[in-house]
């Protein structure tokens, strides 16, 4: 895949980039290694000063970088601005919280005594240069939610971004440079996927984090496993959205529309399978379908647009194939199900797909077991909570889940039984810097964000002082 900005709203190639050669990759790896040796000794106060400055610059750049993201991958410009604002918020959160999250942990005196020590504690130290292999769908947020905690912990970052968002990738490197981070602290590597293995195998790269497809995750995990290097993987999702009889059905339906089509439906944590109790199924289906049908599809640079194009022509083809397969096997199209028309000569060349709702889904259909990365929703009818939970868990993925109920017993059962990294009640799944984020099953392993995320790339070091150690009380 070429490294290029291709506008998905009209298919026009705007700018292409040459991949880095071996000599330049080596120079950047050497810079990361050298910089880490010095940067790791800086204090939390200095790191926080730099990260807060990056947040200020991002706020100043918000309009311009939003339009760049929209041009490169098609998200509505309103959503792109919100993404930039969220990144600045996360930077400030980690700047304020990191020192506390990585504070030394002291066991009780009794436990230390049993270990034969006069004093013992856990101290968190940075690991070194970390390779981040990141996707195009949230081209700022996916990177910042790694970079902010990693930099605050004293690590340095090497970004291999998706090949269709090169300008956003270069912006991120420039942002941290302008904020005053030392050269080599955060570098963008404009390389193709074929270069990832040699970079990850380089002994100066100590760990990796990947957000992306299951095949990409398997490949990176296999290489890292062979090299005995730590990884965090956030892969696909086919998140369920359960609606039970005690719910506010109209509000659930309105939220369901946003939950399904956020980022043009190209989000791992977007709700995709809507599992509705039979007592409220008809009401929900009517409200939800009407909301999906009312969405405005069009130029993502326009403020009034709800749904822009899919990020690539292949992405639209993948969605079309899933929908066509379901329809051939008996699924009912409640709305959409095709490319939109009447967008104008320029936009008709873009990779748009109409917001779509399908019902009468069966396990034989591909769409039942594969992730739908686009504005397509599937509706299921459940006889009771037990059947709804069973349907929700009938997927190889386990990223997050949404449940609409006002019944406390139902809530407790869902927390106990849903196989997912998160359970969101009476709302939609969202990531927040203060809450850990990640999945189970084939959605990956490890956690981003919160204290869990910042400690993923730290060496939890046991420090032990014997009873005769001089200065053990003041060290």
Catalytic residue among 268, 335, 414, 458: 268
| 331 touches 361 (CB < 8 A) | yes
| 155 touches 36 (CB < 8 A) | yes
Q: What are residue 347's DSSP bridge partners?
A: none
Strands 271-277 and 239-243, bridge-based pairing? parallel
Query: Cα–Cα distance between 106 and 97 in angstroms, integer?
Result: 19
The neighbour count for residue 405, using CB atoms within 10 Å, is 22
268 assigned to active site: yes
| 331 touches 288 (CB < 8 A) | no
Query: Cα–Cα distance between 367 and 326 in angstroms, integer?
Result: 7
| 9 touches 76 (CB < 8 A) | no
Catalytic residue among 234, 287, 370, 410: 234
Query: Cα–Cα distance between 103 and 122 in angstroms, integer?
Result: 9
Query: Cα–Cα distance between 159 and 154 in angstroms, integer?
Result: 16
Structure-token pair, residue 24:
């330049």
Residue position matching structure tokens 């990832």 = 196
What count of residues does the chain have? 475
DSSP string, 4-40: EEEETTTTEEEEEEPPPPHHHHHHHHHHHHHHHHHHT
Strands 356-359 and 332-335, bridge-based pairing? antiparallel
| Angle made by CA atoms 233, 190, 459, in degrees to the nearest 5 | 40
CA–CA distances in Å: residue 285 to residues 258, 326, 426, 435: 15, 18, 17, 32
Half-sphere exposure of 59 (CA within 13 A, CB side): 11
Q: Which residue in 439, 340, 452, 447 sits closest to 396, CA to CA? A: 439
The neighbour count for residue 197, using CB atoms within 10 Å, is 15
The residues carrying an active-site annotation are: 234, 268
């Amino acid at each position: 895949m070429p490294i290029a900005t291709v506008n998905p709203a009209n298919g026009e190639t705007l700018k292409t980039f040459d991949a880095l050669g071996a000599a330049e990759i080596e120079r950047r790896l050497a810079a990361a290694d050298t910089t880490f040796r010095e940067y790791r000794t800086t204090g939390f106060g200095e790191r926080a000063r730099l990260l807060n400055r990056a947040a200020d610059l991002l706020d100043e750049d918000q309009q311009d970088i939003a339009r760049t993201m929209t041009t490169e991958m098609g998200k509505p410009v309103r959503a792109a601005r919100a993404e930039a604002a969220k990144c600045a918020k996360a930077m400030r959160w980690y700047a304020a919280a990191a020192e506390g999250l990585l504070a030394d942990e002291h066991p009780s005196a009794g436990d230390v005594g049993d270990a034969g020590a006069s004093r013992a504690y856990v101290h968190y130290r940075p690991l070194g240069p970390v390779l981040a292999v990141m996707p195009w769908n949230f081209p700022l947020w996916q990177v910042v939610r790694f970079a902010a905690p990693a930099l605050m912990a004293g690590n340095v970052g090497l970004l291999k971004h998706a090949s269709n968002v090169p300008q956003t990738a270069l912006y991120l490197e420039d942002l941290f440079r302008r904020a005053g981070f030392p050269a080599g602290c955060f570098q963008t590597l404009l390389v193709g996927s074929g270069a990832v293995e040699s970079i990850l195998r380089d002994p100066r790269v100590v760990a990796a984090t990947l957000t992306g497809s299951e095949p990409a995750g398997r490949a990176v995990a296999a290489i890292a496993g062979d090299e005995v290097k730590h990884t965090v993987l956030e892969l696909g999702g086919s998140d369920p959205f359960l609606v039970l009889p005690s719910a506010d059905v109209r509000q659930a339906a309105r939220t369901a529309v946003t939950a399904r089509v956020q980022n043009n439906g190209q989000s791992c944590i977007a709700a995709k399978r809507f599992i509705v109790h039979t007592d409220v199924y008809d009401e929900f289906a009517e409200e939800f379908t009407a909301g999906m049908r009312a969405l405005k599809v069009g130029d993502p640079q326009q403020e009034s647009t709800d749904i822009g194009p899919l990020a690539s022509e292949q992405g639209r083809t993948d969605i079309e194939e899933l929908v066509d397969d379901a329809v051939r096997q008996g699924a009912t199209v409640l709305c959409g199900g095709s490319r939109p028309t009447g967008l104008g000569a320029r936009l008709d060349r873009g990779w748009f797909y109409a917001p779509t709702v399908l019902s009468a889904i069966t396990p034989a259909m591909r769409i039942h077991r594969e992730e739908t990365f686009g504005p397509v929703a599937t509706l299921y009818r459940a006889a009771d909570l037990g059947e709804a939970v069973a349907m929700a868990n009938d997927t190889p993925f386990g990223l997050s889940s949404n449940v609409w109920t006002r019944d406390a017993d139902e809530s407790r059962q869902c927390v106990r039984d849903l196989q997912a990294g998160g359970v969101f009640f009476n709302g939609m799944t969202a990531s927040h810097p203060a809450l850990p984020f990640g999945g189970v099953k084939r959605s990956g392993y490890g956690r981003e964000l919160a204290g869990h995320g910042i400690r993923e790339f730290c060496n939890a070091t046991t420090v032990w002082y014997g009873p005769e150690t001089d200065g053990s009380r003041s060290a």
